[in-house]
Amino acid sequence: MKNKKILLAILTTALIITLTFASCGGGGGGGSGPSPSPAPVTPATPTNPTSKIFESSDKDGNIYILEVTASASKASVSRATTYTPKDGDTFTFTIITSSGKTWTDSGTVKTSGITLTLKLSESKTLTITVSDNSMVKIEVPEGTTITIDSTPITTVDNLTATPPVNPKFELKASKYDVGQSWEDSIPLKTVTKAIPKKDDKFRFRVRGTTDKTLVNFRASLATHTEDWSHYQWLGGAEYVKGGVSGTFDETFEITIGEDPKDGYIINFTLANNDVPLPANYENNKTVVATISNFEVRLVGITRN
């Protein structure tokens, strides 16, 4: 009888211990029961680019810009990280001659591998062979006439790409008599061979990922002599409303206020204006923010 009581006591104690551990297991209170289910992980939203710009130039200095954009019915369809034109997408095709004359047309695209057939206005067509971000050959078929300033444009090959990508763009602390900013510049010739003239409207598309919020962000054009003893402001775009942070894609339109002086170096500048500068900074040398995956392209020119 005594042994039965001892056995009953042992079983009761074991049952109490088991219930205690079971009650503590899922409550996060230090119990040794099963681990709570991990919080669901929201997958990163995949990038879904819906346009692509091809830019090339020929040996005579003429510039060719083709921007293809997904049609409205396809804009929400995931297309991987690199945009690939599809049948029915829309395009804007611009030619800028070395003398500054422009020609632009738009319509829809038909694709066949690396060949794009552009359906121009007036039921005419143009065939373009592309590679990566540039055009290799532009074919003007019989029956299609493109005339710029009384000069006909014919089939063009041996095109060269205008490289749009820099590994990174570093904004540096800068202070002037009129204010202070985070900024840096690159030569305009690394973006385009087109030379701005008074009253032109230059449109640039800038993309990248910034490691700091840029609250007063904009682009501008200016010129200077080799030794920076003379400086000339050409014009600046409107500020980006709300600024930019993280990955961004912005288009800036800059109206040129005057003709650049002969022999001056023309710069494209990105700046975050009227912002605090770090203590003990070295003017124009201390890096304040970095834009990675940086890309800038000329996407259009309007000339009067």
| Res 93 pLDDT > 50 | yes
State the pLDDT at residue 278: 94
Domain assignment present for residue 31? The answer is: no
Domain tally, the chain? 2
| Res 76 pLDDT > 60 | no
State the pLDDT at residue 48: 59
Domain assignment present for residue 251? The answer is: yes
**Strands lying side by side in the sheet with 265-273:** 231-236, 217-224, 265-273, 179-187, 165-176, 287-302, 201-214, 244-255
State the pLDDT at residue 74: 56
Instruction: State pLDDT tens for residues 27-38.
Output: 333 333 333 334
Domain assignment present for residue 29? The answer is: no
State the pLDDT at residue 154: 81
Instruction: State pLDDT tens for residues 207-262.
Output: 899 999 999 999 999 999 988 889 899 999 999 999 999 999 899 999 999 999 98
Average pLDDT over residues 112-117: 91
Name the band, by pLDDT with cuts 50, 70 and 90, for residue 283.
Answer: very high
Q: Give this prediction's pTM.
A: 0.61
Verify that 149 and 236 share a domain, yes or no: no
State the pLDDT at residue 72: 66
Verify that 204 and 177 share a domain, yes or no: yes
Verify that 119 and 205 share a domain, yes or no: no
Verify that 57 and 139 share a domain, yes or no: yes
Verify that 169 and 297 share a domain, yes or no: yes
- Listed residues 161, 191, 215: the one ending a domain: 161
Instruction: State pLDDT tens for residues 15-69.
Output: 444 444 444 443 333 333 333 334 443 333 444 567 888 888 888 778 888 989 8
- Listed residues 144, 161, 178: the one ending a domain: 161
State the pLDDT at residue 166: 63
| Res 149 pLDDT > 70 | yes
CATH number of the domain encompassing residue 286 = 2.60.120
Domain assignment present for residue 180? The answer is: yes
Verify that 146 and 85 share a domain, yes or no: yes
Other Cβ atoms closer than 10 A to 165: 12
Verify that 175 and 297 share a domain, yes or no: yes
State the pLDDT at residue 73: 57
Domain assignment present for residue 123? The answer is: yes
Domain assignment present for residue 7? The answer is: no
CA dihedral 87, 92, 98, 101 (to 10 degrees): 140
Verify that 177 and 201 share a domain, yes or no: yes
CA distance 108 to 178: 47
Give backbone dihedrals phi and psi of 291, rounded to 5 degrees, phi first. Answer: -105, 115
State the pLDDT at residue 37: 39
Average pLDDT over residues 280-285: 94
Average pLDDT over residues 91-106: 83
Verify that 130 and 110 share a domain, yes or no: yes
| Domain range enclosing 293 | 165-302
Verify that 297 and 172 share a domain, yes or no: yes
Instruction: State pLDDT tens for residues 234-249.
Output: 999 999 999 999 999 8
Verify that 99 and 174 share a domain, yes or no: no
Q: Please, are residues 164 and 296 in contact by the beta-carbon 8 Å criterion?
A: yes
Domain assignment present for residue 43? The answer is: no
State the pLDDT at residue 7: 42
Domain assignment present for residue 248? The answer is: yes
- Listed residues 142, 161, 180: the one ending a domain: 161
Q: Among 245, 217, 295, 303, which Cα is nearest to 51's? A: 295
State the pLDDT at residue 165: 52
Verify that 199 and 177 share a domain, yes or no: yes
The three-state DSSP-derived secondary structure of the chain is CHHHHHHHHHHHHHHHHHHHHHHHHCCCCCCCCCCCCCCCCCCCCCCCCCEEEEEEECCCCCEEEEEEECCCCCCCCCCCCCCCCCCCCEEEEEEECCCCCEEEEEEEEEEECCEEEEECHHHCEEEEEEECCEEEEEECCCCCCEEECCEEECCECCCEECCCEEEEEEEEEEEECCEEEEEEEEEHHHCCCCCCCCCCEEEEEEEEEEEEEECCEEEEEEEECCCCCCEEEEEECCCCCCCEEEEEEEEEEEECCCCCCCCCEEEEEEEEECCCCCCCCCCCCCEEEEEEEEEEEEEEEECC
